Structure 1
Amino acid sequence: MPERDIFTYNIVISGLMHGRDVQGACEVFEGMVCRDVVTWNAMIGGYFMNGMPDKGLKLFEEMPVKDVISRNLAIEGLIKCGKLDLAEEYFKRMSHRDVASWTVMISGLSKAGRTADAGKYFEQMPVKDVRAWNAMLEGYIGLECVDLAQNLFHEMPEKDLDSWKLLINGLIMCRRFTDALGYFMEMPSNVVKH
């Protein structure tokens, strides 16, 4: 009979967490002799996904080796559980941030209506990809600040399908149908989704 490897354990933990069987995932985790960063991330992400941020944070703090993905996972989990201030604390303590770290923070603040704070992080961000630009765009549109959204859209060095959809939909929501149609007509037919 083949032995179970760490990859198999990780799949089972992730599946149990997605199926909301937190207890089952905990039992598998506790029964493991060897764990890798993916194992820890599956458990931590699962706790956050199942509305247990305190358990997720506790396990994150116990994690022997944390990588940028683990830290991003904790920050995103805190944001999704409405703990923005704590997410900001964790973000500020990160020694290394990647594009995803910045984008998660910007997106979370934008969706919470804290567009000014999101804008500060956006300005500090050393390298911005289209997802970061879209997170800011979505924040402005969520607050119905379509003029700011349009200005940002024009500053974007690269636009993907989501960029166009966000702006057009935002203009429609604000009943600026002529502007929305103008952008729709201007939209390249070969625009890609990232």
Structure 2
Amino acid sequence: MNHEIRYPVRVLLADDHALVRAGLAALLDAHPQIAVVGEAADGGQAIELTQNAEPDVVLMDLSMPGVDGITATRELLALRPQTQVLVLTSFSDRDRVRDALAAGAIGYLLKDSDPQDVVAGVLAAAKQGSPLDPRVARTLLTEGAVGPKPQLPPLSPRELDVLRLVAKGMANKQVGRALGISERTVKVHLGNVFRRIGVQDRTSAALWARENLT
């Protein structure tokens, strides 16, 4: 199924600090292609508001009272899988990152990021890109690097091309345009790549590429 982007991108903010929500709302609403459609103070509210506001992107904190961000991510995506969850948190430890990505988050940013990186991350997430703070990627790669790298699986030149562009944060449509192939063909190549390198999603594939193809 093609993922058509509608503008403005509808964003729901989920953070238990009112001051953080206010700052994010001001930042994002100032962009002509983004509209904040709701604010949640905890994970339970995020799940409820996602069903009512139908956001394209949920900007999700992880540490919140009641229902935490990881649980909220998993539950709201089960109810509305077309929404993209972009984590925005203070925590960059490997376990939290992996848990968030396993729950279905498409990207992971840190709260001390440059404001424009947050804006760019929201727009990338809406296009099914995988925005990932470089420090988070480094944490995953360095903490997970034990022993020699495994032998690379037999990926075709075209599959490698697709994987490298995905690792740069490109969405399927952008990859197809860059390579002169259809979005459907990109999805076929990605399915083959996922199977051969043993991952389940594009974010994990991007991390794998950064570790093994550099």
TM-score (norm 1): 0.33
More helix by share: 1
More strand by share: 2
Q: Which structure would you say has the larger Rg?
A: 1
Q: Which structure has the higher relative contact order (CA within 8 Å, separation 6+)?
A: 2
TM-score (norm 2): 0.31
